[in-house]
Amino acid sequence: MKRILIPVSNSFFVRNFLRTEGLKILLGRPEIEPVFLVPKNKLEYYQKEFASPRITFLAIPSARGVFENFFKFLETSSIHTRTILMQQYFYLKRAGAQENIFLRYFIFFLGRFLWLLGKFYWWRNFLRYLYWLAPNARFKKIFENIKPDLVFCPTLIYDEYLLLKTAKKKGIKTLGMISSWDNFYSKTFLRVYPDYLLVQTNYLKSLANNLADYPLEKIAVTGVPQYDRYFSKSGVVSREEFIKSLGGNPGKKLILYAFSGKMGITVDFEMLDILSMAFKEGKISKSTQVLVRPYPKNDFSPERVLKTRERFGFLVRPVAGHIGGGKGNWEFEEESLAFLLNSLAHADVIINMYSTFFIEGAIFDKPLIAVAFDGHQRLDYWNSARRFFDWDHLADIKKSGGISIVKSPEELMSAINSCLGNPNFLSEGRKKIVSQQAGFYDGNSAKRIAENILKFI
């Protein structure tokens, strides 16, 4: 048997691999035995959800601690990008900050100093060297008991580096993967190098080389597994069936409003209020309806779903399953993935602030509207939605010209009506987004990941 040790650091990897052809391909090889390290509070859930005599699930030891958190700060602060520069100013100026002002200024100036050093290769390599020297026995028993032939780290940020470092010091083969389009701009410069690296697109391949100094010849491009369903259209039901299941009217056009995350949640609710008033004032046709899609990490409770429906009159439903309590208890179950797929497939217009929904909507060639104002609030730039498209990864897709970026309620109404009236509005720009950010269009990205794992072991 050949054992592959794989940490499951978040639910995105579950969606992107365990619920795809990727896991089936691994299990199709009788000599392969995957061992997954998972959060303790989800151990029983995963054992039932992906039951197989050849799969082992173990509770992952926490890699967090003062030293690991300190190196996380050193690494992220030393990423010499506009995104990190903006995040440092946001930390200093963010509304509602509880930290002592002197502590905030100290962290800000330390971060600025590290950011300046991060421009230099020697500094990045020096931090890699320091991290390599630091001992840590957190995973000692895991390696003694499992004796893996390969360690595959699919989410190369933060906690997975300790596991990767331990494997490399023991002479075990290592394979790593970046999980998202923004990671090199804001989360890592590869604190530890895996023997080989998987990335989803040529766009990320160039960033791995330019921002993380990783050699191009050791990088394989796989495509984005979460988009496989979108390209294959597997699981798309009829518009009538989907919209009726939400309590909507299939004869009306559908505006999909997708929440972006914690930083934008206050503005997101302001946008719902603006949309609700627009319907009442006749600024949007009554032959149109709104579907609200919460962000998975900040999913709506049943109570919030009910309140949102009653307050705004929009269609809304939770988007994730929930296992136990506490942070990170959400999961992309099959029902959640089907809802996401069909909401994209049947939307007529998509409104978002700063998430991957711009790419996902572009795959379905849906008109895209980006919110770049703060509703009824008057916020300074560092706390405002105006800043999001200055982040590097969003600035990259802004160049495509495939997104209507609106800066006032009037511009929002104008964009909605233009998009509803002309579905092909900015379509050429959306094609550019897909070309840059999706890589492959064949729906076989998870398969390529699995094939690379098998090839490397």
pLDDT above 80: residue 328: no
- The mean per-residue pLDDT over the stretch 346-353 comes to 98
Is the pLDDT reported for residue 399 higher than 80? Answer: yes
Residue 378 pLDDT greater than 90, yes or no:
no
pLDDT tens readout for residues 90-130: 999 887 777 788 899 999 999 999 999 999 999 999 999 99
Residue 440 · residue 223 · CB < 8 Å: yes
Q: What span, in angstroms and rounded, lies between the C-alpha atoms of 295 and 269?
A: 12
Phi, psi of 59 (to 5 degrees): -70, 130
Which class for 376: exposed (0-12), middle (13-18), buried (19 or more C-beta within 10 A)?
A: exposed
Mean pLDDT of 358-370: 98
- Ordered DSSP codes for 71-139: HHHHHHHT--SHHHHHHHHHHHH-TT--S-HHHHHHHHHHHHHHHHHTTSHHHHHHHHHHHHHS---TT
Output the pLDDT for position 258. Answer: 95
In the predicted structure, residue 326 carries a pLDDT above the cut 70: no
Using DSSP's 3-state secondary structure scheme, residue 255 falls into: strand
Q: 405 by DSSP, 3-state: which?
A: strand
Q: What is the pLDDT of residue 99?
A: 75
Residue 66, token pair as written in the block? 């003062």
Query: Are 36 and 8 contacting, i.e. CB atoms less than 8 angstroms apart?
Result: yes
The answer for 426, left when phi > 0, alpha when psi is -120 to 50, beta otherwise, is left
pLDDT tens across 329-343, in order? 788 889 999 999 999
For residue 278, name the pLDDT band (cuts at 50, 70, 90): very high
pLDDT of 324 over the 70 cut: no
What rounded mean pLDDT belongs to the chain? 94
Give pLDDT tens digits for 4-57: 999 998 888 999 999 999 999 999 999 999 999 999 989 999 999 999 999 999
Residue 269: is it exposed, middle or buried by C-beta count within 10 angstroms (0-12/13-18/19+)?
Answer: middle
Is-contact 407 414, C-beta < 8 A?
Answer: no
Rounded mean pLDDT, 159-187: 96
Tell me how far apart the alpha carbons of residues 370 and 407 are, in angstroms, rounded to a whole number. 9
pLDDT higher than threshold 70 for residue 163: yes
Residue position matching structure tokens 């999980």: 179
Give Cα separations from 17 to 8, 10, 12, 34, 166 (angstroms). 10, 12, 9, 12, 24
Number of Cβ atoms within 10 Å of the Cβ of 334: 11
Count H helices and E strands in the chain, helices first: 21, 15
Query: How is residue 281 written in tokens?
Result: 């004032």
Provide the 3-class DSSP secondary structure of residue 321: strand
- What percent of the chain lies above the pLDDT cut of 90? 82
Quote the DSSP letter at residue 378. Answer: -
Going along the chain from its start, the domains and CATH numbers come out as 2-63+138-224+443-456 (3.40.50.2000), 66-128 (no CATH), 234-437 (3.40.50.2000)
pLDDT for 393 equals 98
How many Å apart are CA 27 and CA 229, to the nearest integer?
21
Q: Which two tokens stand for residue 314?
A: 């929009």
Over its C-alpha atoms, the chain yields an Rg (Å, rounded) of 23
Query: Which of 152, 192, 191, 197 minimizes the C-alpha distance to 169?
Result: 192
pLDDT for residue 168: 97
The token pair that represents 25 in the structure block: 């391909």
Q: Are 128 and 214 in contact (CB under 8 A)?
A: no
Question: 131-136: which pairs have CB atoms within 8 A and are 24 or more residues apart?
Answer: 131/71, 131/161, 131/165, 131/191, 131/192, 132/165, 132/192, 134/67, 134/71, 136/67, 136/162, 136/165, 136/166
Q: Give 371's DSSP letter.
A: E
Give CA–CA dist 376/276, Å, rounded. 13
pLDDT digits over 50-103, tens only? 999 999 999 988 777 888 999 999 999 999 999 999 999 999 988 777 778 889
Categorise residue 51: left if φ over 0, alpha if ψ from -120 to 50, beta otherwise: beta
* 329 touches 364 (CB < 8 A): no
Reported as a single tens digit per residue, the pLDDT across 211-264 is: 999 999 999 999 999 999 999 999 999 999 999 999 999 999 999 999 998 888
The token pair at 446 is 């998870």
Q: Is 395 helix (H, G, I), strand (E, B) or coil?
A: helix
